[in-house]
Structure 1
Protein backbone atom coordinates (compact mmCIF):
# COMPACT_ATOMS: atom_id res chain seq x y z
CA UNK A 1 0.00 0.00 0.00
CA UNK A 2 2.77 2.44 0.88
CA UNK A 3 4.57 2.02 -2.44
CA UNK A 4 1.30 2.89 -4.20
CA UNK A 5 1.00 6.02 -2.11
CA UNK A 6 4.54 7.10 -2.94
CA UNK A 7 3.94 6.53 -6.65
CA UNK A 8 0.73 8.52 -6.49
CA UNK A 9 2.52 11.13 -4.40
CA UNK A 10 -0.23 11.41 -1.78
CA UNK A 11 1.11 11.60 1.77
CA UNK A 12 -2.10 12.79 3.47
CA UNK A 13 -5.73 12.34 2.51
CA UNK A 14 -8.87 13.64 4.20
CA UNK A 15 -12.44 12.68 3.36
CA UNK A 16 -15.48 14.41 4.86
CA UNK A 17 -13.41 15.61 7.83
CA UNK A 18 -15.37 17.35 10.61
CA UNK A 19 -13.88 18.62 13.87
CA UNK A 20 -15.68 20.27 16.76
CA UNK A 21 -14.11 22.16 19.64
CA UNK A 22 -16.05 23.56 22.62
CA UNK A 23 -19.39 23.06 20.84
CA UNK A 24 -18.17 24.87 17.72
CA UNK A 25 -17.47 23.30 14.34
CA UNK A 26 -13.82 24.17 13.56
CA UNK A 27 -13.46 22.19 10.32
CA UNK A 28 -16.41 21.41 8.09
CA UNK A 29 -16.47 18.61 5.51
CA UNK A 30 -12.80 18.83 4.48
CA UNK A 31 -11.89 16.79 1.41
CA UNK A 32 -8.24 17.09 0.51
CA UNK A 33 -5.16 15.31 -0.78
CA UNK A 34 -1.63 16.51 -0.04
CA UNK A 35 1.22 15.29 -2.23
CA UNK A 36 4.96 14.88 -1.85
CA UNK A 37 6.93 17.52 -3.69
CA UNK A 38 3.98 19.92 -3.57
CA UNK A 39 4.65 22.73 -1.09
CA UNK A 40 1.30 23.84 0.27
CA UNK A 41 0.24 26.85 2.33
CA UNK A 42 -3.00 27.07 4.30
CA UNK A 43 -4.08 30.69 4.55
CA UNK A 44 -6.93 32.32 6.42
CA UNK A 45 -7.82 34.54 9.34
CA UNK A 46 -7.29 33.52 12.94
CA UNK A 47 -9.87 30.87 13.79
CA UNK A 48 -10.33 29.73 10.20
CA UNK A 49 -9.27 26.17 11.03
CA UNK A 50 -5.84 26.08 9.41
CA UNK A 51 -3.96 25.27 12.65
CA UNK A 52 -6.52 22.62 13.52
CA UNK A 53 -5.89 20.86 10.21
CA UNK A 54 -2.17 20.52 10.92
CA UNK A 55 -2.86 19.43 14.50
CA UNK A 56 -5.16 16.74 13.11
CA UNK A 57 -2.28 15.37 11.06
CA UNK A 58 -0.10 15.42 14.19
CA UNK A 59 -2.79 13.53 16.14
CA UNK A 60 -3.29 16.43 18.54
CA UNK A 61 -6.87 17.04 17.37
CA UNK A 62 -9.34 14.29 16.51
CA UNK A 63 -12.26 14.37 14.06
CA UNK A 64 -15.84 13.24 14.62
CA UNK A 65 -16.00 9.50 13.98
CA UNK A 66 -18.11 8.81 10.90
CA UNK A 67 -18.15 5.78 8.63
CA UNK A 68 -18.20 8.10 5.62
CA UNK A 69 -15.02 9.93 6.64
CA UNK A 70 -11.35 9.08 7.11
CA UNK A 71 -7.82 10.42 7.46
CA UNK A 72 -4.94 8.57 5.85
CA UNK A 73 -1.30 9.43 6.50
CA UNK A 74 1.06 7.75 4.03
CA UNK A 75 -1.78 5.43 3.08
CA UNK A 76 -2.58 4.31 6.62
CA UNK A 77 -5.72 4.97 8.64
CA UNK A 78 -3.72 4.21 11.79
CA UNK A 79 -0.07 5.16 12.05
CA UNK A 80 2.27 4.65 14.98
CA UNK A 81 3.28 7.98 16.53
CA UNK A 82 6.98 7.06 16.30
CA UNK A 83 6.62 6.15 12.63
CA UNK A 84 4.81 9.46 12.10
CA UNK A 85 7.72 11.43 13.56
CA UNK A 86 10.22 9.79 11.22
CA UNK A 87 8.18 10.88 8.18
CA UNK A 88 6.74 14.24 9.24
CA UNK A 89 8.39 16.96 11.30
CA UNK A 90 6.09 19.37 13.15
CA UNK A 91 6.57 22.89 14.43
CA UNK A 92 3.90 24.48 16.63
CA UNK A 93 4.32 27.84 18.37
CA UNK A 94 3.36 26.37 21.76
CA UNK A 95 6.39 24.04 21.70
CA UNK A 96 8.49 27.00 22.87
CA UNK A 97 6.56 27.14 26.16
CA UNK A 98 7.53 23.54 26.92
CA UNK A 99 11.27 24.22 26.78
CA UNK A 100 13.12 25.45 29.83
CA UNK A 101 15.42 28.40 29.30
CA UNK A 102 18.48 26.71 30.85
CA UNK A 103 18.42 23.87 28.30
CA UNK A 104 21.35 23.51 25.95
CA UNK A 105 20.64 24.47 22.35
CA UNK A 106 22.26 21.33 20.97
CA UNK A 107 20.33 19.10 23.38
CA UNK A 108 17.03 20.61 22.26
CA UNK A 109 17.81 19.80 18.64
CA UNK A 110 19.01 16.28 19.47
CA UNK A 111 15.89 15.66 21.56
CA UNK A 112 13.95 15.47 18.30
CA UNK A 113 15.37 11.97 17.90
CA UNK A 114 13.59 10.87 21.07
CA UNK A 115 10.44 13.02 20.98
CA UNK A 116 11.36 14.86 24.18
CA UNK A 117 12.10 18.51 24.91
CA UNK A 118 15.77 18.84 25.71
CA UNK A 119 16.12 15.79 27.97
CA UNK A 120 17.98 13.13 26.02
CA UNK A 121 19.47 9.70 26.58
CA UNK A 122 23.05 10.36 25.52
CA UNK A 123 23.71 6.63 25.13
CA UNK A 124 21.47 6.74 22.05
CA UNK A 125 23.37 9.62 20.42
CA UNK A 126 26.16 8.27 18.24
CA UNK A 127 28.61 9.68 15.72
CA UNK A 128 26.03 9.72 12.92
CA UNK A 129 23.56 11.70 15.02
CA UNK A 130 26.23 14.20 16.09
CA UNK A 131 27.35 14.69 12.48
CA UNK A 132 23.74 15.27 11.43
CA UNK A 133 23.43 17.84 14.22
CA UNK A 134 26.45 19.81 13.01
CA UNK A 135 25.23 19.78 9.41
CA UNK A 136 21.80 20.99 10.47
CA UNK A 137 23.14 23.77 12.65
CA UNK A 138 25.39 24.91 9.83
CA UNK A 139 22.59 24.92 7.24
CA UNK A 140 20.32 26.93 9.55
CA UNK A 141 23.06 29.37 10.58
CA UNK A 142 23.10 28.16 14.19
CA UNK A 143 26.78 27.26 14.62
CA UNK A 144 27.69 30.50 16.42
CA UNK A 145 24.55 30.96 18.50
CA UNK A 146 24.53 30.87 22.29
CA UNK A 147 25.01 27.65 24.17
CA UNK A 148 21.78 28.19 26.14
CA UNK A 149 18.31 28.41 24.65
CA UNK A 150 17.26 31.27 26.96
CA UNK A 151 19.93 33.53 25.46
CA UNK A 152 18.74 33.15 21.87
CA UNK A 153 16.71 35.69 19.92
CA UNK A 154 13.18 34.74 18.86
CA UNK A 155 14.40 34.10 15.32
CA UNK A 156 17.22 31.85 16.53
CA UNK A 157 14.83 29.93 18.78
CA UNK A 158 12.51 29.32 15.84
CA UNK A 159 15.39 27.98 13.74
CA UNK A 160 16.44 25.71 16.62
CA UNK A 161 12.92 24.28 16.76
CA UNK A 162 12.94 23.75 13.00
CA UNK A 163 16.24 21.88 13.36
CA UNK A 164 14.65 19.75 16.09
CA UNK A 165 11.71 19.04 13.77
CA UNK A 166 13.88 17.78 10.89
CA UNK A 167 16.64 15.98 12.82
CA UNK A 168 15.05 12.67 11.74
CA UNK A 169 15.27 13.67 8.05
CA UNK A 170 11.49 13.58 7.48
CA UNK A 171 9.85 13.66 4.07
CA UNK A 172 7.45 16.42 5.17
CA UNK A 173 7.75 19.44 7.45
CA UNK A 174 4.45 20.86 8.77
CA UNK A 175 4.64 24.29 10.40
CA UNK A 176 1.94 26.32 12.09
CA UNK A 177 2.49 30.09 11.68
CA UNK A 178 6.31 29.72 11.56
CA UNK A 179 6.93 33.49 11.29
CA UNK A 180 4.58 34.48 14.11
CA UNK A 181 5.97 37.27 16.37
CA UNK A 182 9.28 37.56 14.47
CA UNK A 183 10.84 40.91 13.60
CA UNK A 184 11.37 41.84 9.94
CA UNK A 185 14.89 40.47 9.61
CA UNK A 186 14.13 37.21 11.44
CA UNK A 187 10.98 36.81 9.35
CA UNK A 188 12.90 37.00 6.07
CA UNK A 189 15.71 34.78 7.37
CA UNK A 190 13.23 32.08 8.32
CA UNK A 191 11.44 32.25 4.98
CA UNK A 192 14.82 31.84 3.30
CA UNK A 193 15.48 28.79 5.48
CA UNK A 194 12.17 27.26 4.38
CA UNK A 195 13.07 27.89 0.72
CA UNK A 196 16.38 26.09 1.22
CA UNK A 197 14.71 23.14 2.96
CA UNK A 198 12.35 22.82 0.01
CA UNK A 199 15.27 22.88 -2.44
CA UNK A 200 16.85 20.06 -0.40
CA UNK A 201 13.81 17.84 -0.93
CA UNK A 202 11.58 18.41 2.10
CA UNK A 203 7.90 18.92 1.26
CA UNK A 204 6.44 21.85 3.18
CA UNK A 205 2.97 22.32 4.62
CA UNK A 206 2.58 25.57 6.52
CA UNK A 207 -0.01 28.05 7.70
CA UNK A 208 -0.08 31.82 7.59
CA UNK A 209 -2.55 34.68 7.75
CA UNK A 210 -0.38 36.91 5.56
CA UNK A 211 0.30 36.25 1.87
CA UNK A 212 3.59 38.15 2.19
CA UNK A 213 4.92 35.08 4.03
CA UNK A 214 4.33 32.77 1.07
CA UNK A 215 7.69 31.60 -0.30
CA UNK A 216 8.45 31.36 -4.01
CA UNK A 217 8.68 27.56 -3.85
CA UNK A 218 5.01 27.23 -2.87
CA UNK A 219 3.07 25.20 -5.44
CA UNK A 220 -0.39 25.25 -3.90
CA UNK A 221 -2.46 27.69 -1.87
CA UNK A 222 -5.57 26.64 0.08
CA UNK A 223 -7.95 29.30 1.39
CA UNK A 224 -9.76 28.40 4.61
CA UNK A 225 -12.67 30.46 5.85
CA UNK A 226 -14.84 29.56 8.85
CA UNK A 227 -13.60 25.97 8.73
CA UNK A 228 -14.21 25.37 5.03
CA UNK A 229 -11.99 25.24 1.96
CA UNK A 230 -13.19 28.04 -0.32
CA UNK A 231 -10.33 28.04 -2.84
CA UNK A 232 -7.55 25.64 -3.80
CA UNK A 233 -5.03 26.12 -6.58
CA UNK A 234 -1.69 27.51 -7.69
CA UNK A 235 -0.59 30.86 -6.21
CA UNK A 236 -0.90 32.56 -9.59
CA UNK A 237 -4.52 31.48 -9.99
CA UNK A 238 -5.95 31.99 -6.51
CA UNK A 239 -4.00 34.96 -5.13
CA UNK A 240 -5.89 37.88 -6.62
CA UNK A 241 -7.16 41.11 -5.14
CA UNK A 242 -10.75 39.87 -5.42
CA UNK A 243 -10.06 36.51 -3.76
CA UNK A 244 -7.98 37.95 -0.93
CA UNK A 245 -10.58 40.65 -0.29
CA UNK A 246 -13.25 37.96 -0.06
CA UNK A 247 -11.13 35.87 2.30
CA UNK A 248 -10.61 38.72 4.75
CA UNK A 249 -13.88 40.60 4.14
CA UNK A 250 -11.86 43.73 3.46
CA UNK A 251 -10.85 45.49 0.24
CA UNK A 252 -7.22 44.52 -0.39
CA UNK A 253 -5.02 45.14 -3.42
CA UNK A 254 -2.53 42.38 -4.27
CA UNK A 255 0.70 42.64 -6.25
CA UNK A 256 3.50 40.24 -7.09
CA UNK A 257 6.93 41.86 -7.01
CA UNK A 258 9.80 39.65 -8.11
CA UNK A 259 7.98 36.50 -7.00
CA UNK A 260 6.95 37.93 -3.61
CA UNK A 261 3.36 38.78 -2.78
CA UNK A 262 2.55 42.21 -1.38
CA UNK A 263 -0.71 43.77 -0.20
CA UNK A 264 -2.14 47.20 0.53
CA UNK A 265 -5.61 48.57 1.30
CA UNK A 266 -7.60 48.94 -1.91
Structure 2
Protein backbone atom coordinates (compact mmCIF):
# COMPACT_ATOMS: atom_id res chain seq x y z
CA UNK A 1 0.00 0.00 0.00
CA UNK A 2 2.18 2.81 -1.27
CA UNK A 3 1.32 6.48 -0.79
CA UNK A 4 -0.03 8.30 -3.82
CA UNK A 5 -0.86 11.70 -2.33
CA UNK A 6 1.74 14.47 -2.40
CA UNK A 7 1.73 15.28 1.32
CA UNK A 8 3.40 18.46 2.59
CA UNK A 9 6.85 17.85 4.06
CA UNK A 10 6.43 18.14 7.83
CA UNK A 11 7.09 16.02 10.87
CA UNK A 12 3.71 16.75 12.47
CA UNK A 13 0.53 15.12 11.27
CA UNK A 14 -1.44 17.12 13.87
CA UNK A 15 -0.23 20.38 15.42
CA UNK A 16 -2.84 22.02 17.66
CA UNK A 17 -1.95 24.88 19.98
CA UNK A 18 -4.33 26.48 22.50
CA UNK A 19 -7.42 25.13 20.75
CA UNK A 20 -10.76 26.03 22.31
CA UNK A 21 -14.06 24.79 20.85
CA UNK A 22 -17.51 25.74 22.06
CA UNK A 23 -20.90 24.20 21.34
CA UNK A 24 -24.09 25.72 22.66
CA UNK A 25 -22.11 28.25 24.67
CA UNK A 26 -20.16 25.53 26.50
CA UNK A 27 -16.48 24.78 26.13
CA UNK A 28 -16.04 21.23 24.89
CA UNK A 29 -12.31 21.66 24.26
CA UNK A 30 -10.44 24.01 26.57
CA UNK A 31 -7.03 25.38 25.45
CA UNK A 32 -5.86 22.04 24.08
CA UNK A 33 -2.31 21.80 22.72
CA UNK A 34 -1.42 18.56 20.99
CA UNK A 35 1.15 17.35 18.48
CA UNK A 36 1.01 13.95 16.78
CA UNK A 37 3.89 12.98 14.52
CA UNK A 38 3.68 11.38 11.10
CA UNK A 39 3.80 7.61 11.58
CA UNK A 40 2.95 7.83 15.28
CA UNK A 41 0.30 5.52 16.76
CA UNK A 42 -1.72 7.13 19.53
CA UNK A 43 -4.66 6.19 21.76
CA UNK A 44 -6.92 8.90 23.18
CA UNK A 45 -8.79 7.68 26.24
CA UNK A 46 -11.41 9.32 28.39
CA UNK A 47 -14.86 8.91 29.91
CA UNK A 48 -17.98 9.78 27.95
CA UNK A 49 -18.27 13.54 27.49
CA UNK A 50 -14.57 14.14 28.15
CA UNK A 51 -14.00 15.80 24.75
CA UNK A 52 -12.13 13.04 22.93
CA UNK A 53 -14.67 12.72 20.11
CA UNK A 54 -14.86 16.52 19.90
CA UNK A 55 -11.12 16.52 19.34
CA UNK A 56 -11.55 14.15 16.38
CA UNK A 57 -14.29 16.34 14.93
CA UNK A 58 -11.92 19.30 15.21
CA UNK A 59 -9.23 17.35 13.38
CA UNK A 60 -11.70 16.55 10.59
CA UNK A 61 -12.90 20.20 10.52
CA UNK A 62 -16.46 19.31 11.53
CA UNK A 63 -15.85 21.58 14.54
CA UNK A 64 -14.01 24.89 14.26
CA UNK A 65 -11.90 26.34 17.09
CA UNK A 66 -12.18 29.90 18.36
CA UNK A 67 -9.59 32.03 16.63
CA UNK A 68 -9.59 35.21 18.72
CA UNK A 69 -7.17 33.85 21.30
CA UNK A 70 -3.38 34.47 21.24
CA UNK A 71 -1.11 31.67 20.06
CA UNK A 72 -3.88 29.60 18.48
CA UNK A 73 -2.82 27.17 15.74
CA UNK A 74 -4.77 24.36 14.12
CA UNK A 75 -2.45 22.72 11.60
CA UNK A 76 -2.65 19.40 9.83
CA UNK A 77 0.52 18.47 7.93
CA UNK A 78 1.72 22.03 8.44
CA UNK A 79 -1.32 23.66 6.83
CA UNK A 80 -4.01 25.76 8.54
CA UNK A 81 -6.51 25.53 5.68
CA UNK A 82 -7.61 22.38 3.93
CA UNK A 83 -10.16 21.59 1.29
CA UNK A 84 -12.42 19.03 2.94
CA UNK A 85 -11.92 16.49 0.13
CA UNK A 86 -8.12 16.81 0.28
CA UNK A 87 -8.31 16.30 4.04
CA UNK A 88 -10.34 13.13 3.54
CA UNK A 89 -7.52 11.85 1.34
CA UNK A 90 -5.07 12.50 4.18
CA UNK A 91 -7.12 11.06 7.06
CA UNK A 92 -9.24 7.92 6.84
CA UNK A 93 -12.13 8.22 9.31
CA UNK A 94 -14.11 5.33 10.80
CA UNK A 95 -16.81 6.12 13.36
CA UNK A 96 -20.05 4.77 14.74
CA UNK A 97 -21.88 7.67 13.10
CA UNK A 98 -20.56 6.59 9.71
CA UNK A 99 -21.70 3.01 10.25
CA UNK A 100 -25.23 4.21 11.05
CA UNK A 101 -25.28 5.85 7.61
CA UNK A 102 -24.62 2.48 5.97
CA UNK A 103 -27.90 0.83 6.87
CA UNK A 104 -29.10 0.76 3.26
CA UNK A 105 -28.99 -2.23 0.93
CA UNK A 106 -25.43 -1.58 -0.31
CA UNK A 107 -23.01 -4.40 -1.06
CA UNK A 108 -19.54 -4.46 0.47
CA UNK A 109 -17.75 -3.69 -2.80
CA UNK A 110 -19.90 -0.63 -3.48
CA UNK A 111 -19.45 0.61 0.09
CA UNK A 112 -15.66 0.43 -0.21
CA UNK A 113 -15.72 2.04 -3.67
CA UNK A 114 -17.84 4.92 -2.34
CA UNK A 115 -14.83 6.05 -0.30
CA UNK A 116 -13.46 7.65 -3.48
CA UNK A 117 -16.51 9.91 -3.64
CA UNK A 118 -17.16 10.50 0.09
CA UNK A 119 -20.68 9.27 -0.53
CA UNK A 120 -23.04 6.64 0.83
CA UNK A 121 -23.04 4.28 -2.13
CA UNK A 122 -22.35 4.86 -5.83
CA UNK A 123 -24.48 7.12 -8.05
CA UNK A 124 -24.87 7.61 -11.81
CA UNK A 125 -22.77 10.78 -11.84
CA UNK A 126 -19.79 9.01 -10.25
CA UNK A 127 -17.01 8.23 -12.71
CA UNK A 128 -15.54 4.93 -11.58
CA UNK A 129 -12.16 4.20 -13.15
CA UNK A 130 -10.32 0.94 -13.68
CA UNK A 131 -7.65 2.13 -11.23
CA UNK A 132 -10.30 2.66 -8.53
CA UNK A 133 -11.61 -0.86 -9.06
CA UNK A 134 -8.09 -2.29 -8.75
CA UNK A 135 -7.47 -0.34 -5.52
CA UNK A 136 -10.73 -1.60 -4.01
CA UNK A 137 -9.78 -5.19 -4.78
CA UNK A 138 -6.29 -4.68 -3.34
CA UNK A 139 -7.55 -3.12 -0.11
CA UNK A 140 -10.22 -5.78 0.39
CA UNK A 141 -7.63 -8.51 -0.13
CA UNK A 142 -5.26 -6.77 2.30
CA UNK A 143 -7.99 -6.76 4.98
CA UNK A 144 -9.09 -10.31 4.03
CA UNK A 145 -12.68 -9.27 3.29
CA UNK A 146 -12.94 -10.08 -0.42
CA UNK A 147 -15.63 -12.62 0.44
CA UNK A 148 -17.87 -9.74 1.56
CA UNK A 149 -17.86 -7.81 -1.72
CA UNK A 150 -21.29 -9.08 -2.84
CA UNK A 151 -22.87 -9.25 0.59
CA UNK A 152 -25.28 -6.51 1.62
CA UNK A 153 -24.12 -4.44 4.59
CA UNK A 154 -27.58 -4.84 6.09
CA UNK A 155 -26.89 -8.59 6.28
CA UNK A 156 -23.35 -8.30 7.68
CA UNK A 157 -22.37 -8.68 11.30
CA UNK A 158 -21.23 -5.53 13.08
CA UNK A 159 -17.62 -6.69 12.83
CA UNK A 160 -17.87 -7.37 9.09
CA UNK A 161 -19.43 -3.97 8.45
CA UNK A 162 -16.72 -2.29 10.53
CA UNK A 163 -13.98 -3.88 8.42
CA UNK A 164 -15.77 -2.77 5.25
CA UNK A 165 -15.74 0.82 6.53
CA UNK A 166 -12.04 0.54 7.37
CA UNK A 167 -11.44 -0.57 3.77
CA UNK A 168 -13.51 2.40 2.58
CA UNK A 169 -11.27 4.70 4.62
CA UNK A 170 -8.10 3.15 3.16
CA UNK A 171 -8.84 3.46 -0.57
CA UNK A 172 -7.18 6.90 -0.70
CA UNK A 173 -4.06 5.46 0.97
CA UNK A 174 -4.25 8.05 3.77
CA UNK A 175 -1.37 8.85 6.09
CA UNK A 176 -3.48 8.09 9.15
CA UNK A 177 -6.52 6.05 10.11
CA UNK A 178 -8.70 7.75 12.71
CA UNK A 179 -10.88 5.30 14.66
CA UNK A 180 -13.58 6.72 16.95
CA UNK A 181 -14.84 4.06 19.41
CA UNK A 182 -14.34 1.42 16.67
CA UNK A 183 -14.89 -1.74 18.73
CA UNK A 184 -18.28 -0.86 20.22
CA UNK A 185 -20.85 -3.67 19.88
CA UNK A 186 -18.34 -6.25 18.66
CA UNK A 187 -18.54 -9.81 19.98
CA UNK A 188 -15.37 -11.61 21.10
CA UNK A 189 -14.58 -13.14 17.70
CA UNK A 190 -15.20 -9.87 15.84
CA UNK A 191 -13.15 -7.97 18.39
CA UNK A 192 -10.22 -10.34 17.92
CA UNK A 193 -10.43 -9.95 14.13
CA UNK A 194 -10.65 -6.18 14.50
CA UNK A 195 -7.45 -6.00 16.55
CA UNK A 196 -5.69 -8.18 13.96
CA UNK A 197 -6.79 -5.73 11.25
CA UNK A 198 -5.46 -2.77 13.23
CA UNK A 199 -2.10 -4.49 13.71
CA UNK A 200 -1.90 -5.25 9.99
CA UNK A 201 -2.59 -1.59 9.17
CA UNK A 202 0.02 -0.38 11.65
CA UNK A 203 2.57 -2.81 10.19
CA UNK A 204 1.85 -1.32 6.74
CA UNK A 205 3.10 2.05 7.99
CA UNK A 206 -0.16 3.90 8.62
CA UNK A 207 -0.57 6.07 11.68
CA UNK A 208 -3.44 4.98 13.91
CA UNK A 209 -5.27 7.52 16.04
CA UNK A 210 -7.58 5.49 18.27
CA UNK A 211 -10.30 7.13 20.36
CA UNK A 212 -11.77 4.84 22.99
CA UNK A 213 -12.77 4.40 26.61
CA UNK A 214 -11.80 0.71 26.58
CA UNK A 215 -8.18 -0.25 27.21
CA UNK A 216 -8.66 -3.58 25.44
CA UNK A 217 -8.90 -1.72 22.11
CA UNK A 218 -5.24 -0.67 22.38
CA UNK A 219 -2.91 -2.80 20.26
CA UNK A 220 0.80 -3.25 21.15
CA UNK A 221 1.84 -0.98 18.24
CA UNK A 222 0.26 2.00 20.02
CA UNK A 223 3.00 3.38 22.25
CA UNK A 224 1.60 6.75 23.28
CA UNK A 225 -1.57 7.38 25.28
CA UNK A 226 -3.38 10.68 25.86
CA UNK A 227 -5.93 10.87 28.67
CA UNK A 228 -8.78 13.36 28.20
CA UNK A 229 -10.94 14.81 30.95
CA UNK A 230 -13.33 17.79 31.03
CA UNK A 231 -12.27 18.98 27.57
CA UNK A 232 -8.57 19.07 28.48
CA UNK A 233 -5.55 16.82 28.18
CA UNK A 234 -5.27 15.19 31.57
CA UNK A 235 -2.08 13.21 30.90
CA UNK A 236 0.05 12.44 27.85
CA UNK A 237 3.02 10.12 27.53
CA UNK A 238 4.38 6.62 26.93
CA UNK A 239 1.78 3.89 27.31
CA UNK A 240 3.55 2.09 30.16
CA UNK A 241 3.75 5.29 32.20
CA UNK A 242 0.20 6.47 31.54
CA UNK A 243 -1.82 3.24 31.76
CA UNK A 244 -1.50 2.65 35.49
CA UNK A 245 -4.14 1.90 38.09
CA UNK A 246 -3.57 5.22 39.86
CA UNK A 247 -3.80 7.30 36.67
CA UNK A 248 -6.94 5.57 35.42
CA UNK A 249 -8.54 5.87 38.86
CA UNK A 250 -7.99 9.62 38.76
CA UNK A 251 -9.31 9.83 35.20
CA UNK A 252 -12.55 7.94 35.81
CA UNK A 253 -13.11 8.98 39.42
CA UNK A 254 -13.28 5.47 40.87
CA UNK A 255 -10.90 2.70 41.86
CA UNK A 256 -9.56 1.08 38.68
CA UNK A 257 -7.18 -1.85 38.40
CA UNK A 258 -5.04 -2.20 35.27
CA UNK A 259 -3.36 -5.33 33.95
CA UNK A 260 -0.88 -5.70 31.08
CA UNK A 261 -0.66 -9.15 29.51
CA UNK A 262 1.59 -9.58 26.50
CA UNK A 263 1.25 -5.96 25.43
CA UNK A 264 -2.55 -5.92 25.78
CA UNK A 265 -4.17 -3.98 28.58
CA UNK A 266 -7.44 -4.40 30.44
CA UNK A 267 -9.06 -2.52 33.28
CA UNK A 268 -11.73 -3.33 35.83
CA UNK A 269 -13.28 -1.68 38.86
Name the TM tier (shorter chain).
over 0.9
Q: Is the 8 A contact 2:22 2:65 kept in 1?
A: yes
- Superposed CA deviations along residues 206-253 of structure 1, whole A, max 9, x for unmatched, are 101011211100021000011110110010111111001111111111
Counterpart-to-counterpart distance in 2, 1:25 and 1:262? 31
- Number of aligned pairs? 261
User: Are residues 1:198 and 2:202 paired?
Assistant: yes
Separation (CA, whole Å) in 1 of partners of 2:135 and 2:18: 40
In structure 1, C-alpha distance between the alignment counterparts of 2:140 and 2:155, rounded to whole Å: 16
- 3-state SS of 1:168 partner: coil
Per-residue deviation, 1:260:
0.7
1:127 corresponds to which of 127, 130, 142: 130
Alpha carbons 1:111, 1:120 under 8 Å: kept: no
Aligned to 1:73: 76
Q: Distance in 1 between matches of 2:152 and 2:12?
A: 39
Relative to structure 1, the CA distance from residue 122 to residue 202 in structure 2 (aligned partners, 3 Å threshold; closer, same or farther) is farther
Q: Counterpart in 1 of 2:99? A: 96
CA contact (8 A) 1:136 1:167 kept: yes
Q: 2:52 aligns with which of 28, 50, 53?
A: 50
Q: CA RMSD in A?
A: 1.5
- Partner of 1:26 in structure 2? 28
- What is the aligned counterpart of 1:148 among 134, 141, 152? 152
Conservation of the 8 A alpha-carbon contact between 2:224 and 2:238? yes
Give SS of 1:136's match. helix
Contact 2:46/2:229 (8 A) holds in 1? yes
Partner-residue secondary structure (3-state), 1:144 = helix
Question: What is the CA distance between 1:121 and its match in structure 2?
Answer: 5.1
Secondary structure of 1:117's counterpart equals coil
Is the 8 Å Cα contact of residues 42 and 208 (structure 2) preserved in structure 1?
Answer: yes
Partners of 1:110 and 1:120 within 8 A in 2: no
Query: Paired residue for 1:82?
Result: 85
- How do 1:156-171 and structure 2 match up within 5 A? 156-171=160-175
For 2:231 and 2:69, locate their aligned partners in 1 and report how far apart those are by CA, in whole Å. Answer: 21
Structure 1 residues 98, 158: CA separation in 2 closer, same or farther (over 3 Å shift)? same
